[in-house]
Amino acid sequence: MRVTQRVKSILKHYEADTPGTKANLARILCTGKLAGTGKMVILPVDQGFEHGPARSFAPNPAAYDPHYHFQLAIDAGLNAYATTLGMLEAAADSYAGQIPTILKINSSNSWATTKDQSINASVDDAVRLGCSAVGFTVYPGSEHALDMFEEFQYLAEEAKAKGLAVVLWAYARGGDLSKAGETALDVAAYSAHLAASLGAHIIKVKLPSDHIEQVEAQKIYSDYDIDRFSQAARVAHVMTSAFNGRRLVVFSGGAAKGEDSVFDDARAIRDGGGNGSIIGRNTFQRSREDALAMLSTIIDIYRGKA
């Protein structure tokens, strides 16, 4: 593994972390076709748990098999593969060492009646399975947000002590947030800042709209003329909110949509200075051939070739 100057400069932003944690961050940043660029494309597959198997995998039945996703991420030249405990255990030995893995520690499900998540795995599971990082979700805005922050603090402390990187999904929802507010620019920026403040190494947020949700924020965005009228500008604002770009931020691909929309999103992330995409259903719900072609184009976009 060659650690480029670009990656070394990123690692310098994590001034409190041990060599073990920085080595695992470097493994993620230095794997795949984007190795060494500071850009990432990560495959997340927790949707079966979150939404149900048929809703997740029926469009491409091969995707019911945990081995399918490992092989897809490897063949596509991605930086890492993130999934749940059971999905990792079902294929961890066959693919040991072939791609950095992220163990998703908590999840919700489609029967849940509150905006909360259950903890379904441990840091020790991640160590046992050879993972480079653990992943965790918090819901800023939820009535359970403060409890989730506290759960994350304990998890992150243990993970860092054992040399793992920490990835935080920061998805604002619940409480007084409107549906439009879940992807509002001020809310996405606030979520990214919260995730950075909670100690995440890699932050995952949704691509923001130009909507401003909080009444208190509307005047600020107007008075200080914060640019929010292009997707690239909104990405740039989220990056600024993540410690002025000192924390890695990747943006969610969301529900399945047309190729052109996926590619436009990637270009906006690139042009706004984001670190990449974490994209699941938009790839694995397509045929393997189509998914590989899509991921190749996304990678080319981040390399400035498309």
pLDDT in tens, 251-266: 997 777 889 999 999 9
Of 22, 104, 115, 204, which residue is the catalytic one?
Answer: 204
Query: Would you place residue 131 in the very low, low, confident or very high pLDDT band (cuts 50, 70, 90)?
Result: very high
Name the helix (H) or strand (E) containing 170. Answer: strand 165-170
Give a three-class secondary structure readout of 125-185. Answer: HHHHCCCCEEEEEECCCCCCHHHHHHHHHHHHHHHHHCCCEEEEEECCCCCCCCCHHHHCH
Total-model pTM: 0.97
Identify the pLDDT of residue 256. 73
Mean pLDDT of the chain: 97
Identify the pLDDT of residue 223. 97
- Asked whether the predicted pLDDT for residue 249 surpasses 90, the reply is yes
- Asked whether the predicted pLDDT for residue 84 surpasses 80, the reply is yes
* Residue closest to 207 by CA, chosen among 121, 117, 294, 271: 271
pLDDT tens-digit series, residues 134-189: 999 999 999 999 999 999 999 999 999 999 999 999 999 999 999 999 999 999 99
Where on the phi/psi map is residue 130: left (φ > 0), alpha (ψ -120 to 50), or beta?
Answer: left
> Average of pLDDT values for 228-232?
97
Q: Which domains does the chain have, with CATH numbers?
A: 41-302 (3.20.20.70)
33 is known as an active-site residue: no
Name the helix (H) or strand (E) containing 250. Answer: strand 248-252
Name the helix (H) or strand (E) containing 28. Answer: helix 19-29
- Yes or no: say if 13 and 246 are a contact pair by the CB < 8 Å rule: yes
